Structure 1
């Protein structure tokens, strides 16, 4: 039982008044406090996780990806990105370095997507290849840029040795 007791009267109190010993029972207030704490803990929602929907294809065999419509993005170290259009051996757009600023990857995705749509009448296919030296945040930033530019066809694939060699030549591996 929780109680609040007042202090005892001092000797020589003025005018001979007697101070009474007051006792207040705080049990009900403590119960109410715990009920309120329990209520707010149970009804409060913590920060909800933010996730981007990612549709993964069903593995129904390997289909050839047209090189003329495929933009390859290789992720290197220090938030650097190398991209090229077509095959690395004979690219339509030569391997170029960029980053994630406003004139970087987003602008490349927009311009290349418009060019492919105008030339072939179909959407661009993006292949994202993270290297061993890239950070996870670079992959997330790339997926964000693909989502912002509304790129509909993309895939995260393993990086090949020729791509690693090209990253080494650019100094971002």
Structure 2
């Protein structure tokens, strides 16, 4: 560990006796070993970065669940931050030309449509969590717009939503 160097010099010179100086030497090997052990321990036990993934719960395979028309809202995510939407069944939207267009803006975007539908569902059924939103991505829709739609579900606390494949009729209606 540490050692004292005691040399046996006489130390006598002209002019008197001089005091003997002892040199000290500290062995740093055990401290370096401990430092490396601690560094290794903390490197192996910490997480450097957590993966940033969006949790998505997918339903089990099986028959489709019937959705009441008054509780449903369908979002058709397109390109260029555009989202089309209709309420109820697709047949109703096709007959009444009730396909509306919106975007993801904060002031007048799709979030306002979702909140309005939640209020109407809460008034009719007593609970805003009864709203069911179906998200369908069109052919030219980007991944970013899909994530924006999922973010709107989280922001507006939509409890039940599903990512569904777009039908050919809906895709045709979007191109017209």
Q: TM-score, normalised by structure 1?
A: 0.69
- Name the CA shift for 1:93/1:144 in 2 (closer, same or farther; >3 Å): farther
| Conservation of the 8 A alpha-carbon contact between 1:82 and 1:98 | yes
| Count of residue pairs the alignment pairs up | 148
Q: Which residue of 2 aligns with 1:94?
A: 98
Deviation track 1:3-41 (CA, whole Å, cap 9, x = no partner) reads xxxxxxxxxxxxxxxxxxxx9977556545533432332
| Conservation of the 8 A alpha-carbon contact between 1:74 and 1:83 | yes
- Name the CA shift for 1:89/1:61 in 2 (closer, same or farther; >3 Å): closer
Segments of structure 2 that go 5 or more residues without pairing to the other structure are 1-24
Deviation track 1:94-121 (CA, whole Å, cap 9, x = no partner) reads 2222222213121111111111332354
Q: 1:110 aligns with which of 100, 112, 115?
A: 115
| Conservation of the 8 A alpha-carbon contact between 1:75 and 1:134 | yes
Q: Which residue of 2 aligns with 1:81?
A: 83
Segments of structure 1 that go 5 or more residues without pairing to the other structure are 1-22
SS at match of 1:90: helix
Aligned ranges 1:59-78 → 2 under 5 Å: 59-78=61-80
- Name the CA shift for 1:126/1:24 in 2 (closer, same or farther; >3 Å): same
**How far is the alpha carbon of 1:128 from its aligned partner?**
0.6
Q: 2:131 aligns with which of 124, 137, 143?
A: 124
Q: 2:169 aligns with which of 134, 159, 162?
A: 162
Q: 1:46 aligns with which of 24, 45, 48?
A: 48
Residue 148 of structure 2 corresponds to residue 152 of structure 1: no
SS at match of 2:99: strand
| Conservation of the 8 A alpha-carbon contact between 1:127 and 1:155 | yes
| Conservation of the 8 A alpha-carbon contact between 1:85 and 1:93 | no
More off after superposition, 101-110 vs 25-34: 25-34
Q: CA RMSD in A?
A: 2.8
